[in-house]
Amino acid sequence: MSAEASDGNVVPEPSCAPPTPSHGVEKRVGPGLAGSKYVKLNVGGSLHYTTVQTLSKEDSLLRRICDGSMEVTIDSEGWVVLDRCGRHFPVVLNFLRDGTVPLPESQRELEEVLKEAQYYRVQGLIQHCLSTLQKRSEIYEGGCRIPMITSAKEEQRMIATCKKPVVKLQNNRGNNKYSYTSNSDDNLLKNIELFDKLGLRFNGRVLFIKDVLGDEICCWSFYGEGRKIAEVCCTSIVYATEKKQTK
């Protein structure tokens, strides 16, 4: 198998499996590859043909491979064998070449890139990954998230484990067996709007949850330290007209 002599060029798709180099593998410690212009790397079955200059840009494990200060495994075809998954190695190479690199959007993949950067001791890429993770975490934590209850068991677990006060709005118009008054829709929307406004304002201090599966049309429940403290039902029955209205 051959590779085009271009900096950071990847030949096959990485398998993330331990490399199976050709027979005649040798381990070498010595002057390294400093006298060479190019170096061939077999990273978990993914073959890369890059330059010694690129690998030597940072004080990393890859520089040590090039300067001969650490033992390296070289197969009979001259490939330096590294027992690592090669999936994210192109990111490492591109960072060494350009000084920056786009990072994956996926949290899991970004953490995988960070692990590879830590293994190869590429400090610049490590800091790039950590700062990106921190920024994304701040953006995520800054958002307002209101969970929707899907079962009674989930509700109990959520309330019992939450260290913050909990406010629950139960809103289920589909369960109404009565007709509505002329003001019911407006009053129901006012309760929903109030809940949303409180959620936006106090989201960091209070856990707000919605329940659309319960029996009540509109009911507020307040919890502290895992137990219910108060409940306000926002419906009433007008017996004269036998209609249930929302307050």
- Angstrom distance (rounded) from CA 230 to CA 224: 10
Give the residue, 112 or 215, on which the prediction is more confident.
Answer: 112
Give the residue, 24 or 112, on which the prediction is more confident.
Answer: 112
Mean pLDDT of the chain: 82
CB 117 within 8 A of CB 84: no
Q: What is the pLDDT of residue 135?
A: 86
Task: Considering the domain delimited by 148-246, tell me its CATH architecture.
Answer: 3-Layer(aba) Sandwich (3.40)
Q: What is the pLDDT of residue 61?
A: 95
pLDDT digits (tens, 9 = 90+) for 86-98: 999 999 999 999 9
Q: What is the pLDDT of residue 239?
A: 56
CATH code matching the domain that covers 9-140, chosen among 3.30.710.10, 3.90.420.10, 3.40.50.1820, 3.30.390.50: 3.30.710.10
pLDDT confidence band for 64 (50 / 70 / 90)? very high
CB 186 within 8 A of CB 193: no
Mean pLDDT of 175-186: 68
pLDDT digits (tens, 9 = 90+) for 230-245: 999 887 655 555 555 5
Mean pLDDT of 172-187: 70
pLDDT confidence band for 4 (50 / 70 / 90)? very low
Q: What is the pLDDT of residue 11?
A: 47
- Angstrom distance (rounded) from CA 164 to CA 183: 34
Same-fold call for 9-140 versus 148-246: no
Nearest-CA neighbor of 95 among 69, 133, 62, 47? 62
Q: Which pairs count as long-range contacts for 29-33, CB under 8 Å and 24+ apart, including other chains?
A: 29/68, 29/70, 29/71, 29/72, 30/68, 31/68, 32/65, 32/66, 32/67, 32/68, 32/69, 32/72, 33/65, 33/66, 33/67, 33/68, 33/80
pLDDT over 90 percentage in the chain: 44
pLDDT confidence band for 162 (50 / 70 / 90)? confident
Question: Taking 70 as the threshold, does the pLDDT of residue 76 lie above it?
Answer: yes
Q: What is the pLDDT of residue 6?
A: 43
pLDDT digits (tens, 9 = 90+) for 103-153: 999 889 999 999 999 999 999 999 999 999 988 877 665 567 888 888 888
Which phi-psi region, left, alpha or beta, contains residue 242 (left: φ > 0; alpha: ψ -120 to 50)?
A: left
Q: What is the pLDDT of residue 13?
A: 52
Q: What is the pLDDT of residue 217?
A: 84
How far, rounded to the nearest angstrom, does the alpha carbon of residue 91 sit from its chain's CA centroid?
Answer: 18
Q: What is the pLDDT of residue 85?
A: 94
Mean pLDDT of 182-208: 87
Q: What is the pLDDT of residue 2?
A: 38
> Hey, where are the domains in the chain?
9-140, 148-246
pTM for this one?
Answer: 0.52
